[in-house]
A and B are shown apart, each in its own frame.
Chain A
Amino acid sequence: MVKEIERMGLTVVHVCTVTPISLTVGANRIVPAVAIPYPLGNPKLTADEEFSLRKKLVQQALDALEQPVSEQTIFEN
């Protein structure tokens, strides 16, 4: 899906936990997520802590969108 969206000229970032799959499907901007059942959260944290974590990850995704890349890139946390 990432590839088809990018094919249309949209800048897209893939936020996912299993980054090897993301590389296989051809995503170019990849931000590693927390866990498969909760990519942008963590049930072990308090609601406030979890919100901060999520906001940080989304901010990373935004940074990736603003970053020029020439090849598949994983933006490590």
Chain B
Amino acid sequence: METRRIVLYLNQFFGQIGGEDQAHIAPQSFDKPIGPGLGLKGLLPKNCTIVGTIVCGDSYFNENLEEASATVGEMIKDFDPHVVIAGPAFNAGRYGMACGTVGKIASEMGIPAVSGMYPENPGVESYRQYLYIVETGNSAASMRTALPSIARLAGKLANQEPLGSPAEEGYLSRGIRKNVFAEKRGSDRAIDMLLAKLQGEEFETEYPIPHFDRVDPAPAVADLSQATLALVTSGGIVPKGNPDRIEASSASHYGRYSIAGVESLTADAYETAHGGYDPVYANQVPNRVVPVDALRALEQEGKIGKLFPYFYSTVGNGTSVANAKKFASEIAHELVNEGVQAVILTST
């Protein structure tokens, strides 16, 4: 069998360069497998070789999307691969967006790409049509089960073997409809499904109806100089010592903190509980995430009527969509009851 070349894309952490303090690094190229690549090596078909690994910091990629994409594209081209594997990214948002973008770059070059993500990773929704995304657990603890599926899929793509449906192959639906020959005609299949449904048996739809949950934009605030405005953040700013013990990732709750009489969030009184970004800058000047100082100035100038005397904070790092919805819905109920009209929500 002809040799097939595979290139791996990893973030700074899995690329073994460093943690959040290295999330700012620009793309680097290595001509060998690194990190998960060592595990993949033994799982890929024998004719597939990982010829290189491209490593980029998660923050760099997302903050410099165009430059990062261009550089990574050039690096991929230099390796001339048959398949690109990105990640797996599990439920890491920035990493998932980077892996998705890499998949898009590869697909534009005519190279198939495979990644692995938790279904709630924003990278799935944004990039699923460009690459095959194997469903993984929400943390790197599922690396062991993710790699064999990724390797199997990458191997098939490298050797141009036909792929089955998302359910058969273990990847998340790409929203692509394919013509296939069925044994029974449509009316028979529909009746079978209906009978199964009426008898309370399990059945599988052939075309899941896409679910778009969109909220229409709220009207503009008529006069902010008369309005009460509240601050909410997913950036994890909390009073020093994190009194509510908000988790550094996968937060199970949020906090509400009084800023009555507080002119500025200072380093001696506030810090971040977020474990998904380098905390140095937020700890130095917490206003960089929750801009109380600027809003006090604008309140003084009469640009807003009043800053709501509490801010709300949680950690948006790997936090489940269900929890985020619940937190925000509770916060919003409270704000509406308190007569707040406008919200600034900051995210890191």
Within 8 A of A (CB), among B254-305: 277-282, 284-285, 287-289, 291, 293-295, 297-298, 303-304
Chain A residues lying within 8 Å of B327, measured Cβ to Cβ, are 1
- Distance (whole angstroms) from the CB of A72 to the closest CB of chain B: 8
Output the residue of A1, A21, A62 with the most chain B CB within 10 A: A1
Q: Are B232 and A62 in contact (CB under 8 A)?
A: no
Residues of chain A lying within 8 A (CB to CB) of residue B102:
none
CB distance A3 to B215 under 8 Å?
yes
CA of A15 to CA of B335, assembled, Å: 19
Which chain A residues in 1-36 approach chain B with CB under 8 Å? Answer: 1-18, 20-26, 28-29, 33, 35-36
- Which residues of the partner chain A approach B235 to less than 8 Å between Cβ atoms? 39
B38 in the interface (beta carbon within 8 A): no
Residue B180 is within 8 A (CB to CB) of chain A in the complex: no
Please state if B297 and A37 are interface contacts (CB–CB under 8 Å).
no
Q: What is the minimal beta-carbon distance from A28 to any residue of chain B, in angstroms?
A: 4
**Residues on B with beta carbons closer than 8 Å to the beta carbon of A38:** 281-282, 285, 288-289
Nearest-CB distance from B92 to chain A (Å)?
12
A71 is an interface residue with CB less than 8 A from chain B: yes
In Å, the complex CA distance between A26 and B139 comes to 24
List of B residues within 8 angstroms of A5 by Cβ: 232, 328, 331-332, 335, 343, 345
**Interface assignment of B306: CB less than 8 Å from any CB of chain A:** no
A-contacting residues, B305-348, CB 8 Å: 314, 316, 324-325, 327-329, 331-333, 335-336, 340-348
In the docked arrangement, what's the CA distance between A12 and B94, Å?
23
A37-B348, A39-B289 known; A66 vs B221 contact (CB < 8 Å): yes
Q: A7-B332, A10-B335, A62-B303 are in contact. Are A69 and B126 (CB under 8 A)?
A: no
Q: Is B220 an interface residue (CB 8 A)?
A: yes
A4: B residues at CB distance < 8 A: 324-325, 328-329, 332
Q: Which residues of B contact A68 (CB under 8 A)?
A: 217, 219-220
Q: Are B278 and A41 in contact (CB under 8 A)?
A: no
Q: Among B59, B289, B291, B336, which residue has its beta carbon within 8 angstroms of that of A9?
A: B336
Q: How many A-B residue pairs have CB under 8 A?
A: 197
Q: Does B234 contact A (CB under 8 A)?
A: yes
Q: Does A67 contact B (CB under 8 A)?
A: yes
Contact in complex: B297, A55 (CB < 8 Å): yes
Q: Cβ of A58 and Cβ of B298 under 8 Å apart?
A: yes
Alpha-carbon separation in the docked complex, A55 to B280 (Å): 21
Q: Is A77 an interface residue, CB under 8 A from the partner?
A: no
Binary contact track A50-77/B, C-beta < 8 Å → 1, others 0: 1100110111011001111111110000
- Chain A residues with CB below 8 A from B211, complex form: none
Closest CB in chain B relative to A71 CB, distance in Å = 7
Q: Give Cα A64–Cα B137 distance, bound, in whole angstroms.
A: 37
Residue from A17, A20, A65 within 8 A of B221 (CB atoms): A65
A-B contact pairs, 27 of them (CB 8 A): A1-B325, A1-B345, A2-B328, A3-B213, A4-B324, A9-B336, A14-B347, A15-B347, A18-B97, A21-B126, A24-B125, A33-B346, A35-B63, A36-B59, A37-B348, A38-B281, A39-B289, A39-B346, A40-B346, A43-B284, A55-B297, A58-B298, A58-B344, A61-B344, A62-B229, A62-B303, A65-B342
Further contacts, 13 of them, CB under 8 A, given A15-B344, A39-B235: A5-B343, A6-B217, A7-B332, A10-B335, A11-B342, A13-B342, A29-B217, A36-B62, A37-B23, A37-B59, A37-B277, A37-B281, A54-B294
Among all A-B residue pairs, the 9 with the closest Cβ atoms: A41-B288, A4-B328, A8-B332, A1-B328, A28-B217, A16-B347, A12-B343, A38-B281, A11-B218
